[in-house]
A and B are shown apart, each in its own frame.
Chain A
């Protein structure tokens, strides 16, 4: 029944294709950013990243052969699993950069919050596909999906990983918006969010998190302290000018002025080396991916599939825009990686699986 040849014939290579293109740029950039560290563990990171890439793409490919109806079945179990993992990480997690985010599996370190994103998308898609077809979503309909999202989001925030926690809520919002969230409700939510944000800022945030926000507003206030990254990042980007300094010519990263230059700030190094021209090219690739996803979301025949694709779009887009904004000083510094560019195995795996999921949905679309 499973005709592999037939499967490959109608296989949608576009997602893996665009993502591989971005990854190739990413890996060259990662090599450039870390090549002249000279000391420490950063040299040779690109090799690890390549291994992660093959592993992720392999898993992604496997996932792409799973029928979409199985995602429907997997929605609740994967959600439960992700919540359990989040509890585990809070109890026994490894700490890095002041937060408990990782669980170790032998030599591998894994961030459960990555699974949460996908599980969330599935569970929300399932929930929203269950509701009556013409139903628009008002406050009442919002309660359960909101709780579904809020539980893992809060658990991530107390790790503490404010960035990913917010990310989960943004994904929730984009999906809900796509599933016809009422405009009136959006206005109410915006008002509540503003009041809530004020309260949280004053009572809920840790000192370093507050500092990130104040330094965002005035980075020069503490140029050597918490504003350091923001300023150095802006210097890196700005100094790239129109054509950039050239491959392997980054001084900000190579000389370590910009810390974390291989993870969260990789976009700054890219801009420094390839300038505005490079940035436009890279952004175009991302937009192509997003456009392709949106097109797919509008051209599937099941509401579950459509919402899942929009969910994947939300994951990609939220990561991309938040990372690029914070690196270029439009947003406070929060630890959000740039999809396919930043070093990191867990998130690469996430994006691989996402690609697999949407490819599977795309492939299933032509199955009539």
Chain B
């Protein structure tokens, strides 16, 4: 048991070496710990925060859109999507199988969806099923332990009170497509994320940045499987963590009146076309309808590709807003312009008369009047009232196309109105330069003849047509049309008010105005007018019909009945009007595609809109008109009965004087009698 001491002592050297090695090892280790904890400590601390904290987007509620009378036109409804965050997905097959069962989907489709997004970062959630039911939401939430990585995301989708009535005007929102994100980020200087919704048409697009609001974020403490543990608020443990609440989007109040809008929409039932109504004294758009339409709500709930394809493939192009994105030949509604230009330029005057025998010969060609047998003796009022083509051909023979261009431009045609809505088209009013530039060929005299009756090159949007008649009604003030009245916050504070803007004002001589206005009044209210069938009670509409040829027919077919043609070759029917004639408030333009006749197809739409508007906003004025009309009839009856010298029935000068005169006479009658008469049959 003794004697090994020396041997043990002789190992002292090795023991010292081992001790040194141990100390060195720990020195390296502590250096490493110093490097991690002190040198890079802050960085790793932030990593650990990011690890445990998930930044969840809190989506801002989108602003709402109201009508001019504060009726809600579109609002938000929640929608739930099942999402998978691949980073946290565990036990892939089992989880997917169970999820498939819960969502009633084939497991393959989930796998396919996951594969599709394989390339992107694993922490980006993938939508597995959109629009899941509340029951499915409940199952996913309660069974979260069986479904690691699966969660429910709430989205805000849009609902539109009147479905497709305002489809084009209000537009729609849809999920931003992945490819477009970088471009849109550039354009809007806004950090778009996958899953964001943006307005894609109409007001939703144009005012997107204001309606959208600002998404906030909320930090959640999550474990390594992505299961949320709790909401995190800034306490000392999380210094520097700040949640941001979402800022709701701003609301928009439109100039649109819902009743007029609905009236227009329903009047167009079964037709394709467009209708626009304007306030003549401000350019406010009261109604704006395009058909066929679509249900914009479908886009925000995750449009099925079927529905989308159907919309895109449809020959009738339901996605297009026909009021501003489509232009039409104005047909005879354009004669009003020719008429004004000719009167103003002295080409015709109140005494001008021509004889129409159904055709006008120029050069070797015969230009036909729509009335085969001719209108006979035509004066300036009858010309417009009965829409005599030959009268205008004779003007066209004398007038320069550049003069037409000048007046059309003054009335706002052939140029973008500047309405704040996306993708407005300009229409076209030709002049000599344009033709030369465009085709290299000089302007032909014959072309002017086509243009003066609103055919050939001339194209206008329904909105421009309404602006034209509105500017005529207010006697030379061209207003910038606008559809948004105010932008206001949730607390009701007005953030932005769009004031009426006058583009320009120009002078039209009194004589011209009186003549044209009287003619337009007679179009509707005088026997022989092209729209007498649309004479309504108490709306005192003045307007002009038009038909626009879709294709030109050979001479022998011109007089074939339009209704006998194949649908796609039928003429478009147009009607442009303002009312009431004595004191215009509203201007309307209606296009009914392939409607054949302006008066019978488009007229009723205009009449419905004007009636709805007058009923609602000027009931007393309307009552007065009704009384006056009734009184007029009673007066005529009285004259008949008493054989008194009749007051001339047909106004000789102009509508206003006529009513002034009439008013004096009416006042001389007892009011009782008039109000009694009001109850009687009117037409």
Contact = CB atoms under 8 A, between A and B. Distances in A.
A294 B15 CA distance: 6
Interface string B38-52: 101111110111011
Contacts of A234: 36, 44
B38 A133 contact: no
B4 A255 contact: no
Contacts of B18: 174, 177-178, 294, 310, 313
Nearest to A301: B5
B14 A178 contact: yes
A330 B9 CA distance: 35
Interface stretch (A51-59, A82-90, A189-197, A320-328): A320-328
A239 B48 contact: yes
Interface stretch (B24-32, B132-140, B502-510): B24-32
Given A255-B222, A257-B51, A239 B41 contact: yes
Nearest to A180: B14
A236 B52 CA distance: 11
A136 B19 CA distance: 20
Nearest to A231: B47
Counting chain A CB atoms within 10 Å of each CB, which of B18, B42, B43, B48 scores highest? B48
Contacts of A286: 26
A297 interface: yes
B113 interface: no
B8 A303 contact: yes
A328 B52 contact: no
Q: Which among B15, B38, B229, B237 has the greatest number of chain A C-beta atoms within 10 A? A: B15
Nearest to A133: B7
A235 interface: yes
B642 interface: no
Contacts of A251: 48-49, 51-52
A276 interface: yes
A294 B223 CA distance: 44
B12 interface: yes
Interface string A105-136: 00000000000000000000000000001100
Contacts of A252: 48, 51-52
Interface string A269-291: 00110011001100100110011
A256 B22 contact: no
A330 B225 contact: no
A276 B37 contact: yes
Given A238-B44, A255-B51, 7 more contacts: A234-B36, A238-B36, A238-B47, A298-B8, A298-B15, A300-B8, A329-B36
Interface of A: 39, 133-134, 174, 177-180, 224, 232, 234-242, 249, 251-252, 255-257, 259, 271-272, 275-276, 279-280, 283, 286-287, 290-291, 294, 297-303, 306, 310, 313, 317, 321, 324-325, 328-330
The 3 closest A-B pairs by CB, nearest first: A238-B44, A241-B41, A239-B48
Interface of B: 1-2, 4-12, 14-15, 17-19, 22-23, 25-26, 28-30, 32-34, 36-38, 40-45, 47-49, 51-52, 87, 122, 145, 221-225, 229, 237
28 contacts: A178-B11, A178-B15, A179-B14, A180-B14, A234-B44, A238-B37, A238-B43, A239-B44, A239-B47, A240-B37, A241-B37, A241-B44, A255-B51, A255-B223, A257-B51, A257-B52, A271-B37, A276-B33, A276-B37, A279-B37, A283-B30, A287-B22, A290-B19, A301-B5, A321-B22, A325-B29, A328-B32, A329-B32
